[in-house]
């Protein structure tokens, strides 16, 4: 391995120069090579770097999955030869590229630092030189006395951010990027301070490789008051090409509750299209299925995007669709953290009732995935859908739900359906929604399986039970 950093210039403002030498008012054009970029800044010669330039250079507005794959391929080809990599990139779509690379670069144990600038390197008061030098030092890590950051990140102004958590928040300000839902992984002033507890762990003796299949048959839709659901439906009636939708909803994941709107979502979902709910807000997250208010979206086939940025959500969905997974597997993996892109992982287990015979007790078994044991569990939710009793008696319906592991730790919660039930007919449908808090940890702890035990004071039938477990992803 060379004691060098490879700079990959894809294009963008940072590499622009004046078309007429010596005339600062002449139009900008892309630099021909590194010498033209660096010749007015001798300090750059102090850093051990090699340089690769895209030909032609790419305006970041023209960025695409094909270019992401090309960047990943250059890193893969040169991976063993360099301490780290700096990717020069236009700022407009930098967060998309950083997110995409984070999913494609597997077992990454070297820094990949994306940076750019709001003002070209040759201009007075440019932010480019500081961004470039600091990115080189972070990528070079121990060459410059900097702690190793084995992940894809963005450096801008004075902040190092996880790439798949970053967003461009200002078109001109030198503080152009932010990481709204995850703290900075590095703070740069007189020193470069890497915050160890916030960076991803270095992979243990696994070989680096690129998983570069992306499918761009994805769209982003943003809700607004007055949106006609039929306009939404018409998009999908006229094509079978779309495989995924990022749905930007209000607040913490709220959407219209009209039957017309929900039926359109059900129609979209019925076509095998994955719908991911993320918030329109810059900061915050959605946590569908935890509260009854969001259950209607869940029933319509929508899944939670938790606190994914739009950039991370769309590139993660492209990546998973590109892998060729079926719809249910894509939904499952979208809700589980892969490389630090989200704060919460959600594991869902669904049980369909195939028996028409009512009963007053039911027992379900859940196999626990290995990954659950490594994370900070904090909540579990049991939701029974379309409950109906058959005893036709004027009596309050009481249902108890217990979760049990092999060590017989038990957390029981009594829930009453508030309205007194009298002479229920078959068409009446009820739902039960109950939450188990931190005590779920002691149950799941070392258990391979869980049992969900449901008892009621009268015989009932139900259509579906959803069991969801939520865990924090601490890095």
3-state secondary structure of 353: coil
Q: Is 211 annotated as a binding residue?
A: no
CA angle 314, 317, 135 (to 5 degrees): 55
329 C-beta neighbours (distance < 10 Å), count: 12
DSSP string of 7-61, one letter each residue? EEE--SGGGEEESSTT-TTSPEEE-SSHHHHHTT-GGGGGS-EEEEE-SS---GG
Where do we find the tokens 């330039």? 53
239 is annotated as an active-site residue: no
CA angle 3, 115, 201 (to 5 degrees): 65
From 10, 49, 91, 93, active-site residue: 91
Given a contact cutoff of 8 angstroms between Cβ atoms, the answer to whether 302 and 269 are in contact is yes
User: Is the alpha carbon torsion for 62, 67, 68, 74 positive or negative?
Assistant: negative
The secondary structure element, H or E, covering residue 330 is helix 327-334
93 is annotated as an active-site residue: no
From 13, 97, 279, 315, active-site residue: 13
How many CA atoms lie within 13 Å of 34's alpha carbon, on the beta-carbon side?
14
Structural tokens at position 171: 């078109």
Q: Is 60 annotated as a binding residue?
A: yes
User: Distances from the Cα of 209 to the Cαs of 10, 107, 364, 399, in angstroms?
Assistant: 21, 7, 40, 51
Q: Is 92 annotated as a binding residue?
A: yes
User: Distances from the Cα of 284 to the Cαs of 96, 252, 316, 437, 472, in angstroms?
Assistant: 19, 7, 19, 21, 15
CA distance 20 to 57: 19
Indicate the annotated binding residues for substrate.
60, 91-92
Residues with active-site annotation = 13, 91
Indicate the annotated binding residues.
60, 91-92
């Amino acid at each position: 391995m060379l004691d060098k950093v490879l700079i990959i210039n894809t294009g963008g403002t940072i590499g622009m120069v004046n078309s007429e030498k010596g005339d600062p008012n002449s139009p900008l054009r892309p630099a021909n090579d590194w010498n033209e970029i660096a010749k007015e800044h001798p300090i750059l010669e102090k850093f051990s770097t090699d340089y690769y330039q895209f030909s032609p250079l790419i305006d970041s507005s023209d960025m695409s999955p094909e270019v992401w794959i090309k960047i990943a391929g250059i890193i893969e080809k040169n991976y063993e030869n360099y301490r780290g990599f700096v990717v020069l990139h236009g700022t407009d779509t930098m967060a998309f590229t950083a997110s995409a690379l984070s999913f494609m670069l597997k077992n990454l144990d070297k820094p990949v630092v994306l940076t750019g600038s709001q003002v070209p390197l040759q201009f007075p008061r440019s932010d480019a030189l500081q961004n470039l030098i600091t990115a080189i030092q972070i990528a070079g890590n121990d060459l410059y006395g900097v702690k190793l950051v084995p992940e894809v990140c963005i450096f801008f102004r004075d902040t190092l951010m996880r790439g798949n958590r970053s967003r461009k928040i200002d078109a001109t300000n030198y503080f152009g990027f932010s990481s709204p839902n995850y703290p900075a992984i590095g703070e740069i002033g007189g020193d470069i301070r890497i915050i160890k507890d916030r960076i991803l762990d270095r992979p243990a003796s696994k070989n680096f490789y690129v998983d570069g299949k992306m499918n761009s048959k994805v769209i982003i839709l943003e809700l607004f008051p007055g949106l006609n659901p039929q306009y939404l439906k018409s998009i999908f009636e006229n094509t079978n090409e779309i495989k995924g939708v990022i749905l930007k909803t209000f607040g913490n994941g709220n959407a219209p509750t009209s039957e017309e709107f929900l039926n359109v979502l059900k129609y979209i979902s019925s076509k095998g299209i994955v719908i991911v709910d993320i918030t329109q807000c810059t900061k915050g997250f959605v946590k569908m299925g935890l509260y009854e208010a969001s259950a209607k979206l869940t029933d319509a086939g929508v899944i939670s995007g938790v606190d994914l940025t739009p950039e991370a959500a769309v590139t993660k969905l492209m990546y998973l669709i590109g892998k060729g997974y079926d719809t249910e597997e894509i939904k499952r993996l979208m809700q589980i953290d892969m490389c630090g892109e989200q704060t919460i992982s959600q594991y869902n287990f669904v049980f369909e009732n195939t028996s028409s015979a009512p009963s007053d007790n039911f027992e379900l078994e859940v196999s626990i995935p290995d990954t659950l044991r490594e994370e900070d569990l904090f909540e579990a939710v049991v939701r029974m859908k379309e409950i109906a009793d058959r005893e036709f008696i004027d009596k309050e319906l009481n249902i108890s739900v217990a979760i049990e592991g092999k060590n017989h730790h038990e957390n029981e919660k009594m829930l009453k359906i508030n309205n007194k039930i009298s002479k229920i007919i078959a068409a009446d449908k009820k739902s039960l929604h109950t939450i188990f808090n931190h005590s779920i940890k002691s149950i799941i702890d070392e258990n391979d399986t869980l049992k969900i035990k449901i008892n009621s004071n009268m015989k009932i039938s139900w259509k579906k039970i959803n069991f969801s477990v939520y865990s924090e992803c601490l890095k």
